[in-house]
């Protein structure tokens, strides 16, 4: 059995989530600036297409992460934070501290990842 979060742990995780949210928003802002129309270099060849695609992928990942952080912050408000969305167990604090926006305990996440791997 794992313990439910103490108020102090919850506060610590909330702070972590807010920091990550701020970092992601800054990162996305940066990416959007990188996605601005590219300037032609001296040879008139447009550079940076590959970089732009990578930035786009990163932006998509950031968007998904940001959505998870918002969900986690919402869950914190309604008291469901720290519970596995799959099996309903209390997610261990150590795991939440490593990945505060997670919504699954380790066994459920592993199962999900195994299922994803098998589907490919
Ligand atoms: Zn679970």
Domain holding 57: CATH number?
A: 1.20.120.910
- Total domains, the chain: 1
Query: 50 in a domain, yes or no?
Result: yes
Q: At what angle do helices 7-34 and 49-78 cross, to 10 degrees?
A: 160
Query: 78 in a domain, yes or no?
Result: yes
Higher pLDDT, 22 or 50: 22
Query: 88 in a domain, yes or no?
Result: yes
User: Which parts of the chain are beta strand (E)?
Assistant: none
pLDDT classification of 73: cutoffs 50, 70, 90:
very high
pLDDT classification of 4: cutoffs 50, 70, 90:
confident
Neighbours of 62 (CB within 10 A): 17
Query: 1 in a domain, yes or no?
Result: no
From ligand 1's centre to the CA of 79, what distance in Å?
Answer: 17
What is the rounded CA–CA span in Å between residue 11 and residue 93?
Answer: 12
Looking at every residue in the chain, the average pLDDT score rounds to 86
Backbone angles phi, psi at 25, to 5 degrees: -65, -40
Q: Which two tokens stand for residue 22?
A: 């701020």
Q: Which two tokens stand for residue 2?
A: 């794992």
Provide the residue range defining the domain that includes 72: 7-37+46-119
From ligand 1's centre to the CA of 25, what distance in Å?
Answer: 29
């Amino acid at each position: 059995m794992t313990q439910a979060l103490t108020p102090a742990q919850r506060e610590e995780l909330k702070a972590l989530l807010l920091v990550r949210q701020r970092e992601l928003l800054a990162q996305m802002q940066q990416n959007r600036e990188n996605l601005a129309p590219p300037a032609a270099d001296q040879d008139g060849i447009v550079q940076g297409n590959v970089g732009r695609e990578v930035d786009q992928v990163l932006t998509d990942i950031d968007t998904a992460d940001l959505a998870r952080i918002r969900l986690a912050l919402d869950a914190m408000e309604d008291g469901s934070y720290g519970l596995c969305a799959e099996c309903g167990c209390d997610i261990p604090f150590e795991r939440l501290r490593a990945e505060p926006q997670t919504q699954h305990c380790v066994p459920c996440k592993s199962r999900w990842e195994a299922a994803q791997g098998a589907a490919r």
